[in-house]
C-alpha cells in the first residue's frame, strides 16, 4: 500500500523527526493508525454503553431527570466525594 501525505503532513512529520519524537515517516503513520484504532475502540465501547443504557431505560430502570432531581444528584455526588476524600485523608495521616 502506498500512502500520499499532504505537504502540511510531511512538514509536521519532519518537525517531529527533527525534535527526535519520531524516527521515520513510517513511525508517524504507525502512530497515527494506533491512535485511530484506539479512538475506534473507544467509539465502539461508547456505542455498547449507549445500547445498554437504552435497554435499561426500556426495562424501566431509568429515572427522569428534573431540575430538582439534578440538584439532588449533584448533592449526593458531592457528599459521596467528600466522604471518600475524608477517608483517604484519614488513611494518609
Report whether pLDDT(63) > 80: no
Is residue 81 domain-resident?
yes
Is residue 91 domain-resident?
yes
Is residue 6 domain-resident?
no
Model confidence at 46, pLDDT cuts 50, 70, 90, reads: very high
Question: Cα–Cα distance between 62 and 78 in angstroms, integer?
Answer: 21
Give the whole-number percent of the chain exceeding pLDDT 90: 84
Is residue 21 domain-resident?
no
The pTM (predicted TM-score) of the whole model is 0.59
Is residue 70 domain-resident?
yes
Is residue 56 domain-resident?
no
Measured CA to CA in angstroms, residue 18 lies from 3, 28, 34, 35, 87 at distances of: 21, 13, 22, 21, 48
Model confidence at 58, pLDDT cuts 50, 70, 90, reads: very high
Model confidence at 45, pLDDT cuts 50, 70, 90, reads: very high
Report whether pLDDT(64) > 80: no
Q: Contact, 49 vs 23, CB < 8 A?
A: no
- Report how many domains make up the chain: 1
Is residue 77 domain-resident?
yes
Amino acid at each position: 500500500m502506498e500512502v500520499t501525505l499532504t505537504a502540511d503532513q510531511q512538514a509536521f512529520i519532519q518537525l517531529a523527526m527533527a525534535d527526535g519524537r519520531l524516527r521515520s515517516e513510517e513511525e508517524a503513520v504507525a502512530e497515527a493508525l494506533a491512535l485511530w484504532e484506539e479512538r475506534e475502540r473507544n467509539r465502539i465501547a461508547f456505542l455498547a454503553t449507549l445500547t445498554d443504557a437504552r435497554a435499561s431505560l426500556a426495562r424501566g430502570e431509568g429515572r427522569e431527570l428534573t431540575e430538582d432531581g439534578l440538584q439532588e444528584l449533584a448533592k449526593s455526588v458531592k457528599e459521596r466525594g467528600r466522604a471518600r476524600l475524608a477517608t483517604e485523608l484519614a488513611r494518609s495521616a
